[in-house]
Amino acid sequence: MPDTAELSSRQLYLRLLTHVRPYWRQFALCVLAMIVMALSEPAIPALLKPLLDGTFVTKDPETMKWTPILLVGLFFVRGFANFVADVGFEWVSSKVVYNLRRELFVNILRLPTRYFDENSTGNIISKVTYNSSQVAAAATRVLTVLIKDSLTVVGLIAYMLWLDWRLTLAVFLLLPLVAWVVRVAAVRMRRLNRQLQGMMGDMTHCLEEAVRGHRVIKVFGGQPASAQRFDHQSNWVRRFQVKLKVADAAAGPLVEIIGALMLALLIYVGTRQVGDGEALTVGGFVAFLTALGLLFPPIKRLTGINQPLQRGLAAAESVFALIDHPPEPDSGGRVIGRAEGRLEFRDVCFRYRDGGDEVLSGINFVAEPGKTVALVGPSGGGKSTIASLIPRFYLPSAGTILLDGIDIRELSLEGLRNNLSMVGQDPMLFNDTVAANIAFGRPGAPKPQELERIAEAAHALEFIRKLPEGFDALIGEDGVRLSGGQRQRLAIARALYKDAPVLILDEATSALDSESERQVQAALQRLTEHRTTIVIAHRLSTIEHADLILVVKDGRIVERGAHAELLAAGGEYTTLYNTQFRRDQAGAFQ
């Protein structure tokens, strides 16, 4: 297990370094600065030896003059190199994180719908925010320490070997022990980090639910339950952070104790050698001791590097997994312009998961160009699923869906979706201007006259004019400053602006006040004119005007026909009409 973990660590790190490649010049400069830092480290004890032997012992005037000057010069060079390396690495790593975040975001935009079903929003968000910054730590601090400190260690050891190789070897007999401690800690921390990132995702998710769902929480008195869930999750995060610290903090002192053993050995062996009159001068012995002392901080940092390194690698793992996740299949190469809008479902079956229950079976219907097909039926029957197959959010498990007689799988995703527009139950408005929300996704700046015309058709012009900046007014997050009816009319305006031949409409179930309702209905009427419309219907007026009504129950179409025909038949539809739509009529449709 440790071997495979290490191998994939190396691969992960190498992959991370490919992101550094575009900035290799700046990177090389940093590495150069760090080499200067590392090489200047053994120069400190190397200066101490002549300083002691030449000044205190033999009182050589030349040495007494030059060594202090050299010392100051040495620290000047070190200071400069340190600055260059610190700033340079930060710059390179910020670029790496920026590029990773961009790549992540672009891939999130292309992910199949299934991915969003299987992964919580919080987890996806924390990959872009938290995990990528962990990768930054791996890319900067870890690299700094790895390059600078390992070079320093090599330089110091080389100097010590040169001073007295026997003494050095004696001291380093204990080195494998250090390596073992480091390795054990690394494996544990990697695992803990992976778990910690998952927990962070869950905590973010819980937080996001509290922010987005604050109204529901308030009305249903969900505060204690939410607070308890958050408490539970954030406590898990805390516990894992402490566990990580335990693994990290145990490694440091262990290494230091081994260091103390080395020192004891040094004094024992070193003083005996001096006694034999074989080797070290006083200056040499002090230089050796200093070099050994200088060796500990970088070794300690090298062992401490495991935590950010393992955290960074665990983060890199999840970040790369998201970047590598295959996008929506888009193999169809057939390009079409504007379709006429004939939509056909032919023996369509669907299951959300391979081997799962069949959610749709044998769905057959044709929506002729410009006509409206209303899907009605009990909740959970499969209406939304039918609608989500049209833009190819999912592919049918069997059967075909045809647009103008062409299997939609043969079409490019762009070609297909250019011919579709959608108005959902809870209209998604983006944190941008009213104009940008209406012209969403369309290239080029929207023309003011065009916008006005569309807004008027969507019965939205009146309220837009009343906004402080009109079309340039910024809609707050999720359109919080607009009423439900206004948001719906903006969504309708967006669909009108796109002017696609096929419309997928999921009517809002929530009742608006009669005035808003009337306005939304009027806007919808404009929108559905001359457009093939597949509507998940909740309103009596919609089904009454539909050209074809499909009653969907348990994944099948159990009845089909026009309103009057179905009512006369006295089947499923009649029951539905009596229980569901009649009530609507009494409420919102007086």
Q: Which residues bind ligand ADP (CB under 6 A)?
A: 117, 352, 359, 377, 379-385
Cβ distance to ligand ADP smaller for residue 377 or 396? 377
Q: Smallest gap, in angstroms, from Cβ of residue 114 to ligand ADP? A: 8
Query: Which CB, 460 or 537, lies closer to ligand ADP?
Result: 537
Buried b (16+ CB within 10 A) or exposed e, 552-580: bbebbbebbbbbeebeeeeebbeebbeeb
Query: In sequence order, what are the beta bridge partners of 551?
Result: 376, 559
Q: Report how far residue 95's alpha carbon sits from residue 101's, in angstroms, rounded to the nearest whole number.
A: 10
Q: Between residues 3 and 354, which has the closer beta carbon with respect to ligand ADP?
A: 354
| Minimal distance, residue 377 CB to ligand ADP, in Å | 6
CB of residue 555 vs ligand ADP: minimum separation in angstroms?
A: 7
CB of 358 to ligand ADP, least distance (A): 10
Cβ atoms within 10 Å of 414's Cβ, excluding its own: 11
Considering the complex, state which of residue 382 and residue 501 has its C-beta at the smaller distance from ligand ADP. 382
- Residue 321 half-sphere exposure toward CB, CA atoms < 13 A: 12
In the complex with ligand ADP, the residue whose CB is nearer, 173 or 428, is 428
Closest CB to ligand ADP among residues 384, 437: 384
Least Å from the CB of residue 385 to ligand ADP: 3
Compute the least distance from the CB of residue 420 to ligand ADP, in Å. Answer: 18
Instruction: Closer to ligand ADP by CB, 383 or 487: give it.
Output: 383
Neighbours of 496 (CB within 10 A): 24
Provide the pairing of β-strand 548-553 with 343-350: unpaired
Shortest approach of ligand ADP to residue 388 CB, angstroms? 8
Residues 530/523, Cβ–Cβ less than 8 Å? no
Q: How far is the CB of 389 from ligand ADP (least distance, A)?
A: 10
Q: Among residues 341 and 382, whose Cβ is nearest to ligand ADP?
A: 382
Residue 177: count other Cβ atoms within 10 Å of its Cβ.
Answer: 14
DSSP-based three-state secondary structure for 506: strand
Residue 340: partners with Cβ closer than 8 Å, 6 or more residues away: 369, 404, 501
Question: At closest approach, how far in Å is the CB of 369 from ligand ADP?
Answer: 25
For ligand ADP, the closer CB: 63 or 121: 121
Sign of CA dihedral 242, 247, 248, 249: positive
Tell me whether strands 420-423 and 372-376 are parallel, antiparallel or unpaired.
unpaired
Question: In sequence order, what DSSP letters do the residues of 287-345 get, joined into one string?
Answer: HHHHHHHHHHHHHHHHHHTHHHHHHHHHHHHHHHHHHHS--------B---S----EEE
Structure tokens at 11: 């691969």
CB 570 to ligand ADP: min, Å: 23
How many whole angstroms separate alpha carbon 226 and alpha carbon 32? 53
Q: Toward ligand ADP, which CB reaches closer, 308 or 382? A: 382
Report d(CA 190, CA 269) in Å as an integer. 39
The one-letter amino acid code at 552 reads: V
Three-state SS for 363?
A: strand
Please name every residue paired with 553 in a beta bridge, in sequence order, or none if there are none.
556
Least CB distance to ligand ADP at residue 542 (A): 15
Q: In angstroms, what CA-CA distances link 93 with 29, 37, 146?
A: 14, 20, 15
